[in-house]
């Protein structure tokens, strides 16, 4: 036979094999079913896995599941915390439906010798603690697929709240007449890459959000990443002032008591069920059960709860259920995790769950260099998957209520996006309410065209000082969204100010707008402002201290100005800024000695902080032209990538910033001439585990030249003389606002240690208040005041 003919036959045969025969072997078939207990009740979120693989799924909240399997015989393992594992033989495609009965696990408690009155659980826990680091660090890098479903329900709500029509909003959200129902339903699939112990990358590959087909799911695999081999688990930010203590943490015996509930045999393993009991209330501790494998002392599963007694905020109860499966090389990884929660505040009650199913583990992945600099990647089209895709890929089937919610919310979305609906919402929201305007201002919106016009509240715009007397500082703002993808807007703002005692009028206008990847600003006008440009004395504090107590701490001047600014963010979150501004500065005298009580007039001082008894001008009228350049860098920063933008995340490392200001004489008659360089290294809320948080702010600067400076050009410091502080980290609590300003070298150091209820949680009457203990240290060094320090 001709060789060419033979090659053609081989080629055709090969193509036929790949196109027809191989797909027949890899084709999968659906197997559905339900998991019930011995009483016929559904077992929610049971895990169903093919034996000796990571192919599997989970049942939904009603115990219903669906699994895709290739043709042939398979052994399925069905597990749920608290139930004995079941094994079921199926033949696909002959078997299409499966009903599984799980029996409550019978943990046997044999007679044991208890020495010194100690429960045998303690010996098991000590072994688990000894092996904690081994199991924490033994895992090799891996990838896995994670499916997450999040459901949140409004369980109770008042008809009105602070004048807000909750009933109307509930109807618009598709809730029932009792204002209850699903308020958040979302599904997502992600591919995670993990390099133990702490490197984690997530790529979202599909997203579905009920009621908004343009949005991306808020579900994050990183938020459900819970490792009880670590000493502490922060879980959800804001849930508690301190992280929670693992039941097998190094010092867990100081926080928990344990009780062996019994043992059972499963797949040749002896599983110990141990009850975890907090030793004290108001501590960040779990309660519930932990399952430990005898011999290897691994965690087999957990069923733990956090309650108000665990010092959690907002939520009443958070239940955590986690199951593990064995992989290659004796590694165990999570097969599923579920958070169930119930909580409420101010008449509102919410409940729901987040459930994650892990599959397709790969223990020999190829990891790209610098992959972990990116925390999350969401690419174009992940929120465009159709119903057929989700029907084939979701491991947790939708309940009837969830299916209905998708249909109802999609209909609501189409209605909400119509111009008629947006106009009707605006007409209702744009109604002018005199009392609302007086207290909080007024906003007119046009949602269809994405702009709003806001006016300040009249009452909140009134202030008092000894220079202007009663003054009106009134502002308005226009915002037009010009980039819906990156949420960028054009802003125009303005302010008018009038002092009724000195009868001086001021006003200014400004704008900021995006241009490419930059943001520009233009501004000009005149205003009255504090001599101390650090702004540590809010006008409201000065109004109260002056009118009630005759303590007119704030000293002000009039400033006319015009300038421009520019901001740009480079890769790696390097932020650049530049500005140029011309100023005319005028000192102002006092024009009133008014206080509520005549006797307090004796405490009033002049508007010159260095000559309190007389209104002698602090400086002559002068001009300045200043150019400033700034750069800041977050060490160790990570980011999230979205289809059209990159969002940088807060770093666990400090931020370094440099700022250089040059005052150039002669420009438009400018008098000031100096060069100022400031360096700053700061980081807030540095996690200290159970022992709270630490915040640090280090500032140093020098005047490279100081040919001509006026008091407004000095380096000022955040002082405090009122009983209430502005709570900035860089604020001194006893320092005068004006006396220690300098034109020389300076250095500041500020540190605050928040013990996060470490001590108050142990005092019965204080623990319910959740008061946090804060220790602060502040240091200042200048030529005028050497080695000034404060502790509080």
The yes-or-no verdict on residue 239 having pLDDT over 50 is: yes
Q: pLDDT (tens digit, 9 = 90+) per residue, 64-83?
A: 988 888 888 888 888 888 88
Q: For residue 334, give every residue at least 6 positions away whose Cβ sits within 8 Å of its Cβ, in sequence order, or none.
A: 322, 323, 324, 325, 356, 358
Distance (Å, whole) CA 542 – CA 551: 8
Beta carbons of 420 and 216 less than 8 angstroms apart:
no
Most confident of 193-207, 396-410, 463-477, 750-764: 463-477
Beta carbons of 361 and 345 less than 8 angstroms apart:
no
Distance (Å, whole) CA 96 – CA 409: 32
389-419 in b/e form (b: 16+ CB < 10 A) is eeeeebbbbbeeebeebbebbeebbeeeeee
H/E segment holding residue 622: strand 622-634
The yes-or-no verdict on residue 112 having pLDDT over 60 is: no
Per-residue tokens: 479: 């915002």
457-495 in b/e form (b: 16+ CB < 10 A) is ebeebebbbbbbbbbbbbbebbbeeeeeeeeebeebbbb
Distances (CA, A) of 118 to 102, 262, 526, 560, 754: 33, 15, 77, 78, 37
β-pair partners for 645: 642
Query: How many CA atoms lie within 13 Å of 771's alpha carbon, on the beta-carbon side?
Result: 11
Distance (Å, whole) CA 622 – CA 585: 5
Beta carbons of 231 and 688 less than 8 angstroms apart:
no
Q: Would the CA dihedral through 226, 228, 231, 233 be positive or negative?
A: positive
pTM > 0.95: yes or no: no
| pLDDT of the residue at 111 | 52
The SS3 assignment for 21 reads helix
Beta carbons of 701 and 745 less than 8 angstroms apart:
yes
Q: pLDDT (tens digit, 9 = 90+) per residue, 181-235?
A: 888 999 999 999 999 888 999 999 999 988 887 778 888 988 888 999 999 998 8
Distance (Å, whole) CA 700 – CA 655: 14
Q: What mean pLDDT, rounded, does the chain reach?
A: 88
Do the domains at 3-102 and 424-791 have one common CATH topology?
no
The yes-or-no verdict on residue 578 having pLDDT over 70 is: yes
Q: What is the mean pLDDT of residues 377-403?
A: 89
| pLDDT of the residue at 6 | 39
Per-residue tokens: 178: 């009792």
| pLDDT of the residue at 116 | 59
Read off the pLDDT band of 178 (50, 70, 90): confident
User: Could you tell me whether strands 56-58 and 47-50 are parallel, antiparallel, or unpaired per DSSP bridges?
Assistant: antiparallel
| pLDDT of the residue at 545 | 95
Question: Rounded to 5 degrees, what are φ and ψ at 690?
Answer: -70, -15
The yes-or-no verdict on residue 337 having pLDDT over 90 is: yes
Distances (CA, A) of 473 to 457, 539, 558: 10, 10, 14
| pLDDT of the residue at 744 | 95
Q: What is the mean pLDDT of residues 699-724?
A: 94
Distance (Å, whole) CA 436 – CA 162: 12
The residue ranges of DSSP E strands in 210-255, in sequence order, are 232-233, 244-245
Q: pLDDT (tens digit, 9 = 90+) per residue, 605-649?
A: 999 999 999 999 999 999 999 999 999 999 888 999 988 888 888
Q: What is the mean pLDDT of residues 312-319?
A: 89
Q: What is the mean pLDDT of residues 37-60?
A: 84
| pLDDT of the residue at 686 | 87
Q: What is the mean pLDDT of residues 531-545?
A: 90
Q: Which CATH architecture has domain 424-791?
A: Beta Barrel (2.40)
Domain boundaries, the chain: 3-102, 138-234+358-414, 424-791
Distance (Å, whole) CA 503 – CA 478: 28
The yes-or-no verdict on residue 500 having pLDDT over 90 is: yes
Helices 419-429 and 400-416, interaxial angle, to 10°?
80
Q: Which CATH architecture has domain 3-102?
A: Sandwich (2.60)
β-pair partners for 324: 334
Beta carbons of 553 and 538 less than 8 angstroms apart:
no
């Amino acid at each position: 036979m001709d060789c060419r003919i033979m090659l053609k036959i081989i080629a055709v045969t090969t193509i036929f094999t790949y196109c027809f025969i191989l797909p027949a072997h890899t084709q999968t078939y659906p197997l559905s079913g339900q998991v019930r207990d011995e009483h016929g009740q559904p077992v929610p979120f049971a895990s169903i896995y093919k034996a000796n693989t990571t192919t599997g799924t989970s049942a939904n909240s009603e115990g219903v599941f669906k699994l895709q399997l290739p043709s042939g015989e398979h052994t399925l393992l069905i597990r749920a915390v608290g139930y004995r594992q079941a094994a079921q033989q199926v033949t696909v495609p002959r078997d299409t439906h499966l009903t599984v009965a799980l029996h409550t696990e019978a943990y046997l408690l044999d007679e044991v010798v208890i020495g010194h009155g100690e429960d045998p659980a303690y010996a098991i826990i000590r072994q688990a603690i000894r092996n904690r680091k081994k199991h924490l660090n033994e895992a090799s890098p891996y990838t896995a697929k994670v499916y997450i479903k999040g459901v949140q329900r409004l369980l109770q709500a008042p008809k009105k709240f602070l004048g807000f029509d909750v009933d109307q909003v509930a109807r618009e959200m598709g809730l029932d007449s009792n204002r209850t129902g699903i308020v958040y339903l979302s599904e997502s699939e992600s591919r995670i890459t993990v390099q133990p112990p702490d490197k984690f990358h997530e790529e979202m590959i599909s997203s579905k959000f009920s009621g908004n087909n343009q949005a991306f799911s808020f579900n994050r695999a990183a938020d459900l990443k819970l490792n009880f081999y670590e000493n502490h688990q922060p879980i959800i930010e804001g849930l508690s002032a301190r992280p929670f203590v693992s039941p097998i943490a190094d010092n867990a015996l100081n926080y928990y008591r344990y009780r062996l509930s019994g043992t059972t045999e499963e797949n040749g393993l002896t599983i110990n069920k141990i009850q975890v009991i907090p030793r004290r209330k108001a501590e960040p501790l779990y309660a519930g059960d932990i399952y430990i494998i005898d011999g290897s002392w691994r965690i087999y599963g957990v069923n733990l709860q956090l309650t108000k007694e665990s010092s959690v905020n907002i939520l009443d109860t958070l239940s955590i259920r986690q199951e593990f499966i064995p992989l290659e090389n004796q590694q165990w990884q999570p097969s599923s995790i579920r958070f169930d929660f119930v909580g409420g505040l101010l008449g509102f009650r919410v409940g729901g769950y987040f459930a994650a199913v892990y599959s397709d583990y790969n223990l020999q992945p190829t990891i790209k260099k610098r992959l972990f600099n990116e925390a999350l990647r969401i690419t174009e089209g992940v929120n465009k998957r159709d119903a057929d895709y989700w029907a084939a890929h979701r491991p947790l089937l939708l309940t009837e209520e969830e299916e209905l919610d998708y249909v109802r919310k999609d209909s609501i979305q189409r209605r909400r996006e119509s111009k008629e609906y947006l106009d009707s919402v605006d007409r209702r929201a744009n109604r002018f309410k005199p009392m609302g305007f007086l207290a909080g201002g007024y906003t007119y919106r046009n949602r269809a065209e994405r702009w709003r016009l806001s006016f300040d509240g009249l009452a909140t715009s009134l202030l008092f000082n000894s220079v202007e007397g009663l003054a009106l500082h009134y502002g308005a703002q226009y915002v037009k969204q010009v980039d819906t993808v990156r949420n960028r807007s054009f802003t125009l703002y303005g302010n008018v100010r009038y002092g009724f005692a000195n009868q001086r009028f001021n006003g200014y206008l400004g704008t900021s707008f995006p241009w490419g990847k930059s943001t520009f600003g233009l501004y000009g006008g005149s205003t009255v402002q504090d001599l101390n440009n650090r702004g540590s004395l809010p006008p409201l504090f000065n109004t109260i201290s002056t009118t009630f107590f005759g303590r007119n701490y704030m000293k002000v001047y009039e400033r006319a100005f015009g300038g421009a600014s520019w901001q740009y963010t480079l890769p790696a979150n390097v932020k650049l800024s530049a500005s140029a501004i011309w100023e005319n500065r005028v000192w102002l005298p006092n024009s009133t000695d008014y206080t509520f009580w005549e006797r307090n007039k004796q405490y009033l001082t002049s508007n010159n902080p260095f000559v309190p008894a007389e209104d002698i001008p602090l400086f002559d009228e002068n001009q300045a032209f200043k150019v400033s350049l700034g750069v800041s860098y977050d060490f160790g920063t990570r980011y999230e990538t979205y289809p059209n933008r990159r969002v940088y995340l807060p770093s666990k490392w400090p931020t370094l910033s440099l700022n250089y200001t040059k005052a150039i004489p002669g420009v438009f008659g400018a008098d000031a001439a100096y060069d100022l360089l400031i360096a700053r290294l700061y980081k807030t809320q540095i996690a200290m585990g159970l022992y709270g948080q630490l915040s640090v702010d280090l500032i140093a600067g020098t005047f490279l030249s100081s040919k001509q400076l006026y008091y407004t050009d000095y380096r000022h410091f955040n002082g405090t003389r009122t009983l209430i502080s502005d709570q900035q980290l860089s604020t001194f609590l006893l320092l005068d606002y004006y006396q220690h300003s300098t034109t020389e070298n300076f250095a500041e150091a500020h540190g605050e240690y928040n013990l996060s209820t470490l001590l108050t949680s142990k005092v019965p009457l204080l623990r319910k208040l959740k008061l946090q203990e804060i220790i602060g240290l502040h240091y200042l060094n200048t030529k005028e005041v050497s080695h000034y320090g404060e502790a509080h």
